[in-house]
Amino acid sequence: MTLTEVATPSTGAPPVDSDWADEVRELARRRDAVLLAHNYQLPAIQDIADHTGDSLALSRIAAESDASTIVFCGVHFMAETAKILAPDKTVLIPDAAAGCSLADSISADELRAWKAEHPGAVVVSYVNTTAAVKAETDVCCTSSNAVEVVESIPADREVLFLPDQFLGAHVRRVTGRENMHVWAGECHVHAGINGSVLTAQVEANPDAELFVHPECGCATSALYLAGTGTVPEERVKILSTGGMLDAARASSAKSVLVATEVGMLHQLRRAAPEIDFRAVNDRASCRFMKMITPDKLLRSLRDGTDEVHVDPELAARGRAAVQRMIEIGQPGSAE
């Protein structure tokens, strides 16, 4: 991870027109494909998708869809998760190189070594992990249901939570669980939204509500600001991306500071156009998410690229953990 990566602004994408949209829809129809887009995708991709949502909502849609092909506009672990849940479907991602720094922060070998140090512990992996790590996992979670997943584990069982340290700290704070060990991984985009950036924004916008993704480096600072009364407690909300949309629809605030990847602003502004949504760090753009461009989506539908394959043995070992994940808790609403 480098500072330059955190600071890289969104590269945007070539403008799209109605011919592009018509072609995408026609090719999707011919392929019997459903288009799924994560909330961090470029606006044009979010707008053309059949469903836009958070990781949990999209995993559920992938598992239940009748379409024979899933085109996953997101990052590679998301498309892999869809393939694990729907092994008989063709799963495409417009660019297989769209990775995730958080998923890369633990390998299956490292997890096996950690498990050997804690025999009998229950392994809870964030969905932002590779298929090989999921194969070593007891139950997966997303930011929408991490608290409920950990609460579903008997209190006397040790828990290994991975790989995100900020989400892990949030879950430990909410559940009060002491027998939970947290891997020291992080997402470089969310870690860059830190306490000092948040404090400066709060000082500049004293009446704003705060929507904070639990992967952010500033999640603890946000609760500290609430605890000290700098921001009234009811104005500080720690939420998944889908949870932010539900909170936006229910909010009567005039302005909201948003601590997560900047792609989220598009859905928020559509959900509540009367609210002034501002990024806490407007350079928090995930270069992996932005690798899915309109041109690559068109190519994917035209040529059937890039097809996602998961080793069947790994998929079989990870499936129960992913299935447990989609059975627990409520995702934020998907469009």
- Closest CB 101 distance from ligand SF4, rounded Å: 4
Judge contact between 257 and 211, C-beta under 8 A: yes
Q: How far, in Å, CA of 114 to CA of 141, rounded?
A: 19
Rule CB under 6 A: choose which of 92, 93, 187, 258 binds ligand SF4: 187
Q: Does 128 bind ligand SF4 (CB under 6 A)?
A: yes
Rule CB under 6 A: choose which of 125, 241, 251, 281 binds ligand 13P: 241
Q: How far, in Å, CA of 248 to CA of 256, rounded?
A: 9
Q: Which is nearer to ligand 13P, 56 or 92 (CB)?
A: 56
Continuous segment of H or E residues that includes residue 120: none
101 binds, among ligand SF4, ligand 13P, none (CB under 5 to 8 A by kind): ligand SF4
Number of alpha helices (DSSP H) and beta strands (DSSP E) in the chain: 16, 12
Compute the radius of gyration of the chain from its Cα atoms.
19
Q: How many residues bind ligand 13P (CB under 6 A)?
A: 11
Rule CB under 6 A: choose which of 141, 289, 301, 334 binds ligand SF4: 289
Burial of 159 (0-12, 13-18, 19+ CB in 10 A): buried
300 binds, among ligand 13P, ligand SF4, none (CB under 5 to 8 A by kind): none
- Closest by CA to 63, choosing from 80, 46, 83, is 83
Q: Which is nearer to ligand 13P, 241 or 281 (CB)?
A: 241
- Closest CB 78 distance from ligand SF4, rounded Å: 8
Judge contact between 158 and 121, C-beta under 8 A: yes
- Closest CB 143 distance from ligand 13P, rounded Å: 4
Q: List the structure tokens of 226.
A: 């609430």
Rule CB under 6 A: choose which of 31, 33, 34, 39 binds ligand 13P: 39
Q: Does 261 bind ligand SF4 (CB under 6 A)?
A: yes
Residue 296's alpha-carbon distances to 84, 97, 142, in angstroms, are 23, 12, 27
The reply, when asked if residue 128 is annotated as ligand binding, is: yes
Q: Which is nearer to ligand SF4, 83 or 290 (CB)?
A: 290
Contact positions vs ligand 13P (CB under 6 A): 39, 54-56, 128, 142-144, 215, 240-241
Q: Which residue ranges make up the annotated binding site for [4Fe-4S] cluster?
A: 100, 187, 286
